[in-house]
């Protein structure tokens, strides 16, 4: 690391450089009450490919404190940013990545026409342009009222004496604990910075010098610089509406979300570094990643365009219909089945953006390899549909251990393997996603003749409920689909306990006829799966009998058990 001092408007700025100066320069600007140290984990992830520069802003860390309140005005902060940019990259434009108040002051620099040739791109995290906010707040409504509630601390910072005392007497020494409890920021040596009390007190001048003048008389601040806005979905201070509908001000706009809290650079440095890197590379001429393509604002496209959907058991029935439904909505589809030929048929029907794999979902290693292969060849899936399953009927007392094992290996363990292998990828990707587990109405409809099958599907039902709770904080939804009687080949392949081969064949034929008479097509189940993902629905009974059984299981489970005993 190289340290240097850059003077701007009489203030000595502490600047920190990492990496090769011949590579594209990324300029990181911290917010309040942080210092350049908040970027440490992001720096380590960017430094191999970029010349990474950070600095302590006015009054923070080792940078000097201005002598007047007016010296904290936005125009001076923007001058600081440009002074650092000119010092560390005099011949090439810089890529700015900023957070919180760093983002607010970076907007000031980015929207200054004279800087258009000096800033190649701008990634804004949790810090809107104050002028844009002021214009937005002139349209009062519930969204504005909600943002005002989230901005309560701004009013507090304008009070005399009290906020300074709060920092000196309690906040300064407890700031790390506050961040940990409120936003899940991990405690670690060196953060918060040793100067936190001073930084907290000095930084309140940012609010006092700028909010009232800008709110009273906002300017028209526009930019031609490519802008990427990253919004942490659990941000306690900047609500989503402040990051939406910015095309008027920044027509070259991308908007991405992360299921995280305000200090996302500290809690999710991998994701922040990846998003910044993808955007910078694209601005510099590289093809946009799938994630970045779907983040581009103003592109009109089908709802699942630039999304990757993985479907198990996709060689026929509900799996095939689901693959075709997602493909029709613009998705790239990956289909797996234990039979490669049928998976390939589905992929051919789904179009050029579909791929087929042969996978036995009962094999944990095979599913793990499948997930790794998909990630390497196509990227991290946005949607995973664990659909593969087999049917089994007969009395529980007639079921053999081998029959139990076979059904549970596919119907339960197959779903577990898919959830774990792909869920881990989604969590690491940091952009959320959706997992669909195909259960059955048999999950909540007890039966004397479907005991083994019902048990496997009831386990999938509860697995999905537990997984939904566990993955909510990662922004990953989980839907449980309970189809009912659907006209697929499952009836013809269902095995039966305690019968001869000839009897089993007769029962399979009779079941197939019954399912055909019911004639509920798998395409209608597929439509419900697509809708469940779009609406992030938790539990979806599909057919009339599935819906009726679901209602009865909740209103009168005793009656349902009585019916099961009689029939």
- Active site residue ranges: 453
Residue 321, CA distances (Å) to 328, 418, 525, 530 in order:
11, 19, 8, 11
Residue 548 CA, distance from chain mean position: 34
Q: CB of 239 within 8 A of CB of 263?
A: no
Q: How far is CA 201 from CA 168, 182, 411, in A?
A: 8, 20, 59
* Beta strand 2-8 pairing with 11-18: antiparallel
Q: Which of 280, 287, 291 lies closest to 227 in space, CA to CA? A: 280
CB atoms near residue 539 (< 10 Å): 18
Q: Which residues, other chains included, contact 341 with Cβ-Cβ below 8 Å and sequence gap of 6+?
A: 315
Beta strands 94-99; 25-29: pairing state = parallel
Residues 438, 444, 449, 453: what is their CA dihedral angle, to the nearest 10 degrees? 30
Task: Give first-to-last CA distance, the chain, whole Å.
Answer: 76
CB–CB of 229/254 below 8 Å?
yes
Cβ pair 408, 508 in contact under 8 A: no
Residue 445, SS3 per DSSP? coil
Q: Which residues sit opposite 540 in a β-bridge?
A: 481
Containing H/E element for 232? strand 227-232
**DSSP assigned state of 398:** G
What does each C-alpha distance from 134 to 41, 241, 246 come to in angstroms?
A: 33, 13, 13
CA 481 to chain centre: 22
CA-based max dimension of the chain: 95
* Count of CB atoms situated within 10 Å of the CB of 72: 23
The tally of CA atoms less than 13 A away on the side-chain side of residue 120 is 20
């Amino acid at each position: 690391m190289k340290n240097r001092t850059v003077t701007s408007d009489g203030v000595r700025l502490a600047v920190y450089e990492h990496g090769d100066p011949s590579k594209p320069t990324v300029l990181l600007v911290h917010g309040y009450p942080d210092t350049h140290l908040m970027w440490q984990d992001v720096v380590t992830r960017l430094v191999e490919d970029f010349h990474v520069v950070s600095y302590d802003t006015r009054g923070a860390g080792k940078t000097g404190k201005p002598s007047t309140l007016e010296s904290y005005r936005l125009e001076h902060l923007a001058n600081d940013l440009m002074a650092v940019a000119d010092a560390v990259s005099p011949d090439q434009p810089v890529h700015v990545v900023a957070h919180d108040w760093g983002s607010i002051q970076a907007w000031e620099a980015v929207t200054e026409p004279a800087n258009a040739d000096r800033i190649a791109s701008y990634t804004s995290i949790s810090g809107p342009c104050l002028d844009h906010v002021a214009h937005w707040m002139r349209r009062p409504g519930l969204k504005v009222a909600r943002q005002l509630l989230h901005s309560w601390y701004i009013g507090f910072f304008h009070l005399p004496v009290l906020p300074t005392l709060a920092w000196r007497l309690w906040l300064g020494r407890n700031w790390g604990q506050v961040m940990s409890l409120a936003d899940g920021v991990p405690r670690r040596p060196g953060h918060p910075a040793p100067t936190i009390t001073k930084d907290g007190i000095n930084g309140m001048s940012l609010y006092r010098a700028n909010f009232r003048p800008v709110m009273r008389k906002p300017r028209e601040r526009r930019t031609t610089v490519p802008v990427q806005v990253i919004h942490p979905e659990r941000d306690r201070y900047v609500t989503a509406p402040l990051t939406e509908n910015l095309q008027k001000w920044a027509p070259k706009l991308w908007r991405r979300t992360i299921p995280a809290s305000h200090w996302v650079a500290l809690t999710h440095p991998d994701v922040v570094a990846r998003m910044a890197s993808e955007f910078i590379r694209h601005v510099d001429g590289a093809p946009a990643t799938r994630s970045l393509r779907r983040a581009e604002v103003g592109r009109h496209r089908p709802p699942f365009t630039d999304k990757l959907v993985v479907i198990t058991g996709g060689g026929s029935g509900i799996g095939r219909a689901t693959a075709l439904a997602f493909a029709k909505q613009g998705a790239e589809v990956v289909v797996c089945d234990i039979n490669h030929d049928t998976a390939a048929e589905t992929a051919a029907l789904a179009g050029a953006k579909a791929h087929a794999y042969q996978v036995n979902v009962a094999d944990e290693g095979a599913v793990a390899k499948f997930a790794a292969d998909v990630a390497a060849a196509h990227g991290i899936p946005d949607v995973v549909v664990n659909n593969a399953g087999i049917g089994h009927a007969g009395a529980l007392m007639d079921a053999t251990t081998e029959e139990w094992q076979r059904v549970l290996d596919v119907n339960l363990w197959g779903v577990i393997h898919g959830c774990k292998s792909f869920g881990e990828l989604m969590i690491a990707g940091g952009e959320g996603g959706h997992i669909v587990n195909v259960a059955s109405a048999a999950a909540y409809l007890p039966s004397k003749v479907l005991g083994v099958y019902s048990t496997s599907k009831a386990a999938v039902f509860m697995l999905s409920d537990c997984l939904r709770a566990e993955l909510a904080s990662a922004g990953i939804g989980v839907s449980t689909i309970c189809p009912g009687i659907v006209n697929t080949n499952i009836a013809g392949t269902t095995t039966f306990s305690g019968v001869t081969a000839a009897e089993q064949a007769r029962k399979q034929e009779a079941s197939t006829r019954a399912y055909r008479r019911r004639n509920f097509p798998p395409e209608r189940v597929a439509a419900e799966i697509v809708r469940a993902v779009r609406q992030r629905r938790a539990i979806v009974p599909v057919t009339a009998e599935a819906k009726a059984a679901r209602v009865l299981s909740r209103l009168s489970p005793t009656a349902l058990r009585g019916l099961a005993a009689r029939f």
